[in-house]
Amino acid sequence: FAAGYWVCAAALLAGIVLYLFKSDDQPLPAGERPAFRLLGFLRGFWVSPKRYPDFAWAWLTRFLVSTGNHMVTIYLLFFLGDAVRLKETEGIEPEVGVLVVTGLYAVTVIITSVVGGRLSDRMGKRKPLVIASSAIIAMASLILAFAPTWVGAISGALVLGIGFGAYLAVDFALITQVLPAALDRGKDLGVVNIANSLPQVLAPAIAYLFVKNLGGYVSLYVAAAVIGLLGAVFVVKIKSVA
């Protein structure tokens, strides 16, 4: 475990160093920066859904799809051990199964994020690809729900990676088109990032309720599919982006 955390720490530091020495960001001139006021700073984290409905719908979409994705991945170790019974059926330790499944997931996320982004740019449209990728994510959840086998787990991981990779690239492009004000882009992207990070806190608790009290892994993954599909439904509400 210690070696794994050291690798994560080293990768994070490497990314920071690369950004510091390779970034070509243009700083805002001091004369154009508004005076800092604590109350105004804190108020800035509230973006009115009434004034900026497209931003609100985009935030909600990202929150729902991220929640569904984390509900799928957070209990993979226990799913492979308890539902797939990987050691008994395939002679593979669940920990090794998680390594294989998440590795396949990661590779497909990387590939489809690039492909999905380029396809969206060529089409000049965002919403159709967001809807399609959300549906693919839901499909992955249903594969895991109704095919609790090693083949099903691998298939679900590949489908989930395809859907989530494309979703990340295209939805992020969509979000940049609905940011409320140019001066607040950094802050507003931080607000959007809450829709990424908050599900990491909530998803384990939600998943626990389903696994322990509401029907087990089948209901967990069906719920994840429904939550992901809600993200596809709500993105239709965004009016300013095609």
Q: Give the up-direction half-sphere exposure of residue 217: CA atoms within 13 A in the CB hemisphere.
A: 24
Give pLDDT, residue 144: 95
Do residues 52 and 192 touch, judged by C-beta distance below 8 A? no
Is residue 233 one of the residues assigned to a domain?
yes
Is residue 103 one of the residues assigned to a domain?
yes
Is residue 147 one of the residues assigned to a domain?
yes
**Using CA atoms, how far apart are residues 103 and 45, in angstroms rounded to an integer?**
36
Is residue 9 one of the residues assigned to a domain?
no
Take residue 124 and report the two structure tokens written for it.
């000049």
Give pLDDT, residue 33: 77
Take residue 80 and report the two structure tokens written for it.
């492979």
**CA nearest to 174, candidates 241, 90, 105:** 241
220-234 burial, b at 16+ Cβ within 10 Å, e below that, comes to bbbbbbebbbbbbeb
Single-letter amino acid, residue 87: K
The secondary structure of the chain, three-state, reads CHHHHHHHHHHHHHHHHHHHHHCCCCCCCHHHCCCCCHHHHHHCCCCCCCCCHHHHHHHHHHHHHHHHHHHHHCCHHHHHHHHCCHHHHHCCCHHHHHHHHHHHHHHHHHHHHHHHHHHHHHHCCCHHHHHHHHHHHHHHHHHHHHCCCHHHHHHHHHHHHHHHHHHHHHHHHHHHCCCCCHHHHHHHHHHHHHHHHHHHHHHHHHHHHHHHHCCCHHHHHHHHHHHHHHHHHHHHHCCCCC
Q: Give the domain extent around 220.
A: 60-237
CATH, residue 165: 1.20.1250.20
**CA nearest to 61, candidates 6, 118, 116, 131:** 131
In degrees and rounded to multiples of 5, residue 196 shows phi and psi of -85, -45
Residue-wise pLDDT tens for the chain (242 aa)?
789 899 999 999 999 998 888 777 777 788 877 788 888 888 888 899 999 999 999 999 999 999 999 999 898 999 999 999 999 999 999 999 999 999 999 999 999 999 998 999 888 889 999 999 999 999 999 999 999 999 999 999 999 999 999 998 899 899 999 999 887 888 899 999 999 999 999 999 999 999 998 989 999 999 999 998 998 889 999 999 88
Domain count, the chain: 1
In degrees and rounded to multiples of 5, residue 238 shows phi and psi of -75, 125
Is residue 53 one of the residues assigned to a domain?
no
Give pLDDT, residue 34: 77
Is residue 186 one of the residues assigned to a domain?
yes
Is residue 68 one of the residues assigned to a domain?
yes
Give pLDDT, residue 4: 85
Is residue 24 one of the residues assigned to a domain?
no
Give pLDDT, residue 139: 95
